[in-house]
Amino acid sequence: MSELQWVLDTEFAPTLHEITTLVDECNSIITSATGKFILGGNDLKLNGLKAMVTMNSDEITEADISVECPNKQTYRTVIADGCSYRMQQLVNCCNALQAVRLSVQDAIEFGFASSEPRPTIASLGRIFELLKQARDHIVLPQKRTVEDLVRSTTRLPNDICLSLYVSGQKLILAVYFLHHNQLAAPHPHAHEIAYRLNIQAVVPWLGKVLQCLSMAMLRTSQLIEKLNRICYTLG
């Protein structure tokens, strides 16, 4: 038996099944997650910002946010049941996880051929990229324009907007104090950020999701590297 055939026989299917298990674990963690988090502590004067946030799966179902403006005036806004804040990053992560699972199923059903292993390597590469996308949705929050933030913020003055997002295993609340550029009006990008405040809290289950994704990526890349090395040796 050739080295290539041995690797395909002994490592291909077990690795894909391990990836499926890790992906299912990620999805289970996200869909069942719940918890309350205090951002910024209890001293509004210390940070100019504090919040109590309840997360359920990929949604913030409750939040009580207080903001102290530069003029020392305090504003309060809430998120309540029936008006939840969807964490699009986590939605996108779950969508990528589903795509990984489908790609793994396709790879298992398609199987492999030792005479032409490159399609197998290509399918593993696709799985790796989808795993990376799932991780990046959590690690690298998508940038939003000031206008998007203004439109999505309610119950606050027009010169204040906020954003809730995750970055790694942290939940972050950012509040932006805006300046309306009269010279740019009525240009759609007339708002400018004067300055911002942000507070954060650690969300332990996000760390578990990232660990599972990192392990799945590692196992996939190890198999790809091994197959590439053998193919290179075979010419």
Query: Domain extents for the chain?
Result: 3-141+204-234
Query: Residue 206 belongs to what H/E stretch?
Result: helix 204-234
Model-level pTM? Answer: 0.88
Decide if 130 contacts 104 (C-beta within 8 A).
no
Structure tokens given for 225: 């590297």
pLDDT tens for each residue of 34-71 = 999 999 877 666 778 999 999 999 999 999 999 988 88
Topology given in CATH for the domain delimited by 3-141+204-234: Butyryl-CoA Dehydrogenase, subunit A; domain 3 (1.20.140)
In the chain, the largest separation of any two C-alpha atoms, in whole Å, equals 77
* Cα 83 from Cα 3, distance rounded (Å): 58
Average pLDDT over residues 158-165: 87
On whether the CB atoms of residues 66 and 44 are closer than 8 A, the answer is yes
Digit-coded pLDDT (tens) for 170-201: 999 999 988 876 655 555 556 788 888 899 99
Q: By C-alpha distance, which of 54, 195, 217, 221 is closest to 136? A: 217
Nearest residue to 203 (alpha-carbon basis) of 58, 16, 13: 58
Q: What is the mean pLDDT of residues 76-84?
A: 84
